[in-house]
Amino acid sequence: MKVSVKDAGTCRKTMKIEIPADKIAEEREETLKAYAKNVSIPGFRKGKAPKAVVAHKFEKEITKDMEERLVPKYYHEALQEKPELKVVMVVDVSDVAIKDGQPLEFDITMDVEPEFKLPKYDGISLTEDKEDVTDEKVQERIDMIRSQHANYEEVEGQPVAEGGMAQLSYEAEVDGRPLAEIATEAKGIGSGNGYWISADEHAFLPGMGEAIVGMNIGDKKDVEVEFPAEFIVKELAGIKALYKIEITGIRERTLPEIDATFLSRLQLESEEQLRTQVREEMERSSEAQDRNKKQEQIIAYLIKKTKLDVPESMIQQQTRNMMYDIARQRMMMGQTQEQLQEAQEDVLKEAQERALENVKLRYIGLGIADDLKLEASANEVSEEIASMAIQQRRDAQELRKEMEENDTLESVGDQIRFNKAMDYMLENAKVK
């Protein structure tokens, strides 16, 4: 067997494989024996038909069988002769034609892992931006918790207070037309009677919560509402509407005292325990945010300092995954299928940019893991799969079996090694 390799582009090689004619003749003879033993031909007992008869009757089937079997067989044998090739994906196989008395030649084009020089990864300079957990911030968080358990009571003789609620009757129009004619599917947005609305930025009509602060029962007012471009009702996105409102009821928000009743709701025994728990949670959150910011600095450093071309097939695969993730994120933020379709080019561009950075980062991180001889133990892989199974609400053994069948189990170990490399760089960074 002759094997030669030549460049075919960025991170792409073409391997030419030639199998001698006598070897192909041997393969045909072995295939013919298998057919002669197992096929049935009228006039002959099974397995007793002459080879010449079998060869003539099943000529096309035998040739096709050989083509499908010999290409992967000799491709893998050729890889053994070229261990320096780290194949990512086979992207093309030339037409294969087996002819009697002739050698078999075919080309396989494949994407291979890039060769590159690692950047200096010891002592990376990082800026610390950790948020201090002060007594004032702890009190703000406690007040937020109290706000979540607030009571609302109807009152008279006093205006709408910030954070309270008001009951509205309203009619809306756009350029003199009733808003209900523009957004027929959005019940309650064009007109309403007896709707309660919060007097803050969380009001379901943009800007309405702030506009009603200070109004009294019976007061009327014209309020201009501008719907944002990402508003969930597509017909209203970017539109300005004039709302004629009247206050028909007011509720005052009352925060609970930090007493035994309130503490029991939180399953706590004292105010001191509440403050300690809140502070610890805020400090953990601050530590996590600081770590994430430092990781982002490391990622930016590695990408900037590494000259690296990556396989096109990897970018395409990652781009498809990224497009799905971006679309899902935008839909969770309220965008419709139609809006996503209109923004398809922007989504594709964003996905390609993210995919390129992710693929580069993966190779750099795993390269550093190799350089540090970092490994993923069998127990670490099993623990990671168990954690993934819990998140996906699946059985760990079934998930592992599926990953083995899909050849994705190795990626779990790679991610563990990548994370260890990131931990190493964080621990050995120069923080200022």
DSSP string, 37-79: HH---TTS-TT-S-HHHHHHHTHHHHHHHHHHHHHHHHHHHHH
Amino acid at 30: E
196 DSSP assignment: E
Q: What is the pLDDT of residues 329-370, one digit of tens each?
A: 888 777 777 778 888 888 899 999 999 999 999 999 999 999
**Residue 185 confidence (pLDDT) above 80:** no
Q: What's the pLDDT score for residue 415?
A: 96
CATH fold group of domain 151-254: Chitinase A; domain 3 (3.10.50)
Q: What's the pLDDT score for residue 182?
A: 79
376-397 average pLDDT score: 94
Amino acid at 76: H
Domain ranges of the chain: 2-112, 151-254, 284-431
Q: Is residue 420 within 8 Å of 369, Cβ to Cβ?
A: yes
Please return the burial class of 406, using the count of CB atoms within 10 Å of its CB with bins 0-12, 13-18 and 19+: exposed
236 DSSP assignment: G
Q: What's the pLDDT score for residue 202?
A: 86
Q: What's the pLDDT score for residue 234?
A: 75
149-164 average pLDDT score: 91
Which of 82-88's residues contact partners 24+ apart within 8 Å by CB, and which partners? Answer: 82/3, 82/5, 82/15, 85/5, 85/13, 85/15, 85/110, 85/112, 86/112, 86/113, 87/111, 87/112, 87/113, 88/11, 88/112, 88/113, 88/311, 88/313, 88/314
Q: What is the pLDDT of residues 101-139, one digit of tens each?
A: 899 999 999 999 999 999 999 999 999 888 899 999 999
The CATH superfamily assigned to 284-431 is Trigger factor, C-terminal domain (1.10.3120.10)
Q: What's the pLDDT score for residue 48?
A: 82
Q: Is 151 helix (H, G, I), strand (E, B) or coil?
A: strand
List, in sequence order, every residue forming a beta bridge with 125; answer none if it has no partner. 430
What does the CA dihedral 368, 369, 373, 376 come to, rounded to 10 degrees? 180
pTM above 0.95, yes or no: no
Question: Rounded to an integer, what distance in angstroms lies between the CA atom of residue 253 and that of residue 261?
Answer: 18
**Residue 232 confidence (pLDDT) above 80:** no
Question: Rounded to an integer, what distance in angstroms lies between the CA atom of residue 269 and that of residue 363?
Answer: 51
Do the domains spanning 2-112 and 284-431 agree at the CATH topology level?
no
Structure tokens at 3: 């094997």
**Domain 2-112 belongs in CATH node 1.10.287.70:** no
Q: What's the pLDDT score for residue 105?
A: 93
